[in-house]
């Protein structure tokens, strides 16, 4: 079984933009049940399907498989819940870890989140200067939650 251990943070400033050109991601959800999520994603010309179990703190079961790009596009266009998640992801190395910075578009425009995958839940993490408030346990910031409640619909007071 694959286990995903990650921490999630809001991003401040824009110094991170110059560190990687980024890749366009488009993703949608076939299932957003509390017990599991099933996601379809395209990253440029590659397609993936991912199944994730329920989160327990910063950890959760995760299985990801490559699928034909045409199948991914068809599932995104015909089967996935709306709105789709559109974002540019930059992968930025920092002190031995790779940070994934997602700059959202569409109904989630204005949201920028950085995630870092870990090998243990208690692993020490040095934070880059552009990393702000931690939101690991705030489920509003999960991609599957952003489908149900896009960032553009949050009130100004509840965004931070």
Mean pLDDT (whole number) for 80-101: 97
Answer whether residue 103 shows pLDDT above 50. yes
Give pLDDT, residue 157.
45
| In the block, residue with structure tokens 């790779």 | 98
Q: Three-state secondary structure along 66-108? A: EECHHHHHHHHHHCCCCCCEEEEEEEEEECCEEEEEEEECHHH
Give pLDDT, residue 100.
98
Percentage above 90 pLDDT, the chain: 87
Question: What is the residue-averaged pLDDT of the chain?
Answer: 94
Mean pLDDT (whole number) for 47-72: 93
Catalytic machinery residues: 29
Query: Is residue 43 classed exposed, middle or buried when 0-12, 13-18 and 19+ CB atoms within 10 A define those classes?
Result: middle
Q: Is the peptide bond before 131 cis (omega within 30 degrees of 0)?
A: no
Instruction: Tell me the domain boundaries of the chain.
Output: 3-158
Running DSSP on this structure, what letter comes out for residue 1?
Answer: -
CA distance 5 to 61: 9
User: CA geometry: angle at 110 spanning 113 and 155, to 5°?
Assistant: 100
Do residues 92 and 20 make contact, with C-beta atoms less than 8 angstroms apart?
Answer: yes
Answer whether residue 25 shows pLDDT above 60. yes
Mean pLDDT (whole number) for 114-142: 95
* Topology at the third CATH level for domain 3-158: Hypothetical Protein Pfu-838710-001 (2.40.320)
Pick from 26, 28, 24: which is nearest to 147 by CA? Answer: 28
């Amino acid at each position: 079984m694959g286990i995903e251990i990650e921490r999630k943070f809001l991003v401040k400033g824009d110094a991170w933009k110059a560190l990687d050109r980024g890749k366009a991601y488009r993703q949608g959800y076939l299932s957003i049940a509390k017990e599991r999520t099933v996601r379809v994603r395209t990253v440029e010309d590659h397609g993936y399907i991912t199944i994730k179990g329920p989160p327990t703190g910063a950890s959760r079961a995760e299985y990801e498989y490559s699928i034909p790009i045409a199948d991914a596009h068809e599932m995104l266009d015909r089967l996935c819940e709306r709105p789709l998640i559109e974002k540019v992801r930059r992968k930025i190395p920092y002190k031995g870890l790779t940070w994934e910075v997602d700059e959202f578009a569409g109904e989630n425009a204005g949201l920028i989140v950085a995630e870092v995958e870990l090998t243990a839940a208690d692993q020490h993490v040095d934070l880059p200067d552009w990393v702000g408030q931690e939101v690991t346990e705030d489920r509003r910031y999960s991609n599957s939650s952003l489908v149900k409640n896009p960032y553009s619909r949050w009130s100004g007071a509840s965004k931070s």
